[in-house]
């Protein structure tokens, strides 16, 4: 394995984050903090507990998951799109580095940024809401696995997109609505039976539910199903990335 090449791509992507730290870190942290202020402190103090958890604490896993998914996709998609846009991707493809190592560098950097951002938001939440983490190892595992999985999705979007506007279509028009409708601000048990069934078709429900279980031991779906769905997404996105490099889709022409 060409560790030097992986490290070069990884360090370049991490350095880009440091150059745009206000946009990459400060903006999502401030945005999420506003949710904690409005829903956690203001509205949350007037809401009843959900499954024995205060409303302010209940929404923390969902808000972190929202930021995690958005940032994983955005970081990875922008990271691979810019070399395609500038033409430097051909230098990378012609270098003595395998496709696996290229993906490892870009996805590894994007996932690292997302994990760090998730941990920062987790610490920031302590200033607004009292909460506990019942299964910290599982919590961190979900954090890392979700970041890696959706960084792969971001990589796919970055290869597919042929303009800056397309980079935002999936995060803004697909992922954000799915997260808001996936139990971020409520338990699906609060819905009528028909809408509970509809909500279970939303794949993000399983991610939010599993992540919330690691905090409080309560979940809308069984934890085993959440884990299986997360690995299912990872396998799906890995398969698509493998196909991209096998066929050279939008990379070799």
Residue 49, pLDDT score: 77
Contact yes or no for 120/29 (Cβ under 8 A): yes
- Summarize pLDDT for 98-152 with one digit per residue, the tens: 888 888 999 999 999 999 999 999 999 888 888 889 999 999 999 999 999 999 9
How many structural domains are present in the chain?
Answer: 1
Is residue 252 one of the residues assigned to a domain?
Answer: no
**Does residue 163 belong to any structural domain of this protein?**
yes
Please check whether residue 88 lies inside any domain of the structure: yes
- Say if 253 falls within a structural domain: no
pLDDT digits over 188-225, tens only? 888 888 988 889 899 999 999 999 999 999 988 999 99
Structural domain includes residue 119: yes
- The reply to whether 191 falls in a domain is yes
CA dist 44 to 38, 56, 106, 129, 179, Å? 8, 5, 39, 9, 19
**DSSP code for 45:** G
Q: Is the pLDDT of residue 91 over 80?
A: no
- The range of the structural domain enclosing residue 112 comes to 3-247
CA distance 95 to 160: 22
Query: Beta-carbon neighbour count of residue 57 at 10 Å?
Result: 20
> What's the pTM?
0.89
d(CA 212, CA 51): 11
- Pull the structure tokens for residue 88: 């430097």
Domain-located, residue 66: yes
**Residue 19's pLDDT band (boundaries 50, 70, 90)?**
confident
């Amino acid at each position: 394995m060409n560790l030097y090449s992986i490290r070069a791509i990884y360090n370049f992507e991490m350095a880009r984050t440091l150059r745009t730290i206000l946009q990459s870190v400060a903006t999502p942290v401030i945005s999420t903090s506003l949710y904690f202020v409005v829903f956690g402190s203001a509205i949350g103090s007037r809401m009843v507990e959900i499954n024995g958890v205060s409303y302010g604490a209940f929404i923390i896993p969902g808000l972190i998951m929202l930021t995690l998914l958005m940032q994983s996709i955005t970081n990875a998609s922008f990271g691979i799109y810019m070399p395609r846009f500038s033409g430097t991707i051909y230098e990378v493809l012609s270098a003595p580095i395998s496709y696996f190592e290229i993906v490892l560098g870009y996805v590894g950097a994007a996932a690292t940024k997302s994990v760090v951002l998730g941990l920062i938001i987790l610490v920031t939440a302590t200033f607004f809401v009292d909460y506990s983490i019942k299964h910290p190892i599982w919590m961190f595992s979900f954090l890392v696995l979700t970041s890696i999985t959706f960084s792969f999705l971001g990589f796919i979007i970055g290869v597919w997109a042929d303009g800056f506007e397309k980079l935002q279509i999936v995060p803004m028009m697909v992922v954000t609505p799915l997260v808001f409708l996936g139990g971020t601000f409520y338990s699906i048990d609060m819905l009528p039976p028909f809408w509970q069934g509809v909500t279970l078709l939303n794949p993000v429900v399983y991610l939010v539910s599993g992540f919330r279980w690691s905090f409080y031991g309560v979940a809308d779906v069984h934890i085993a199903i959440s884990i299986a769905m997360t690995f299912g997404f990872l396998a799906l996105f890995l398969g698509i990335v493998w196909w991209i490099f096998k066929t050279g889709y939008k990379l070799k022409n």
